[in-house]
Amino acid sequence: MNLSTLRRDVSLSPPVRPARPSDAVRLARIESCSWRHAYAGMVPEGLLRRMEPAWLADRWRVRIHCASRCLWVIEDQGVVAGYASIGDADHPDLEPGFAGEVFELYVHPEQQRCGLGRALLSSALDTMRGLGRLWGVLEVLQDNHQARRFYEAFGMQTDKIVRRRPSGLWCSIGGRRYSHSHGSVRVVRYEIPLQPALRGRIPDLGG
**Helical ranges in the chain per DSSP H:** 3-6, 24-38, 45-50, 53-67, 116-130, 145-154
Q: Does residue 174 carry a pLDDT above 50?
A: no
Q: Where are the domains of the chain?
A: 17-198
Of the candidate ranges 8-12, 84-88, 137-141, the one whose mean pLDDT is the lowest: 8-12
Q: How far apart are CA 27 and CA 59, in angstroms?
A: 10
Phi and psi torsions of 88, nearest 5°: -70, 135
pTM of the model: 0.81
pLDDT for 95-124, tens place per residue?
A: 888 999 999 999 999 898 889 999 999 999
For strand 79-88 and strand 71-76, is the pairing parallel, antiparallel, or unpaired? Answer: antiparallel
DSSP state string for 153-167: HHT-EEEEEEEEEE-
Q: What CATH number belongs to 17-198?
A: 3.40.630.30
> Which residues are paired to 189 by β-bridges?
139
Provide the phi-psi class of 81: left if phi over 0, else alpha when psi is between -120 and 50, else beta: alpha
Q: How far apart are CA 98 and CA 117, in angstroms?
A: 24
| Total H helices, total E strands in the chain | 6, 9
Q: Which amino acid is located at 85 in the chain?
A: S
Residue 9: alpha-carbon gap to chain centroid = 23
pLDDT for 115-164, tens place per residue?
A: 999 999 999 999 999 999 999 999 999 999 999 999 999 999 998 888 88
